[in-house]
Amino acid sequence: MPRANLLGKPGEGLPLLLAALNKSRPSVAAHALGIARAAFEDAVAYINERRQSGRRIVEFQGIQFLLADLATDLAMCEAWLWHVARLIDQGMTDVATEASMLKLRASDLAMRIATEAVQLHGGYGYIKDYRVERLMRDAKITQIWEGTNQIHRQLIGRSFIDRR
């Protein structure tokens, strides 16, 4: 590549890339949370209509416990998204750990909720007539792009190393 095409100075590329990732990872998290929210709402709507043993599926206590956990985790993750967005809006540039935490948790939650939504739909959850089938596939990619979740666990873990 000709030197005339060089952006910045040699050696400055990695910091520029990392700064861009700190802003793009929250967008992946927002995407994941949109998937999670859609899967959750589809599942709730379905189990409010579908009956088993003469009762709506939503009336079973075990299902209610599952919904409570998923709704709570979703609310907490959405709140963390707004927190990280505020930090970025305030001009904070060192949000690497917060962005990694957000991307990691949001994408794992999207996969968890989408998988539970498919399960709650039973056999219907696996066919293309129901959106949850696609949402589960869409959730999976959010665990991979912008750094796999294994990489994010490593980045978060490394942030606790004392840099003497």
Higher pLDDT, 36 or 23: 36
Question: What does the pLDDT read at residue 2?
Answer: 79
Residues 6+ apart with CB under 8 A from 150: none
Instruction: Supply the residues annotated as catalytic.
Output: 146
Token pair, residue 62, equals: 């075990």
Judged by DSSP in three states, 56 sits in strand
Render pLDDT for 39-76 as a digit per residue (tens, 0 to 9). Answer: 999 999 999 999 999 999 999 999 999 999 999 999 99
Render pLDDT for 89-107 as a digit per residue (tens, 0 to 9). Answer: 999 989 999 999 999 999 9
In the block, which residue shows the tokens 């998923």? Answer: 70
Evaluate if pTM is beyond 0.75. yes
Render pLDDT for 12-22 as a digit per residue (tens, 0 to 9). Answer: 777 777 777 77
Render pLDDT for 120-140 as a digit per residue (tens, 0 to 9). Answer: 999 999 999 999 999 999 999
Give the residue ranges of DSSP H helices in 10-95.
Answer: 13-49, 61-89
pLDDT band at 1 (very low <50, low <70, confident <90, very high): low
Judged by DSSP in three states, 100 sits in helix
Token pair, residue 44, equals: 């709730």
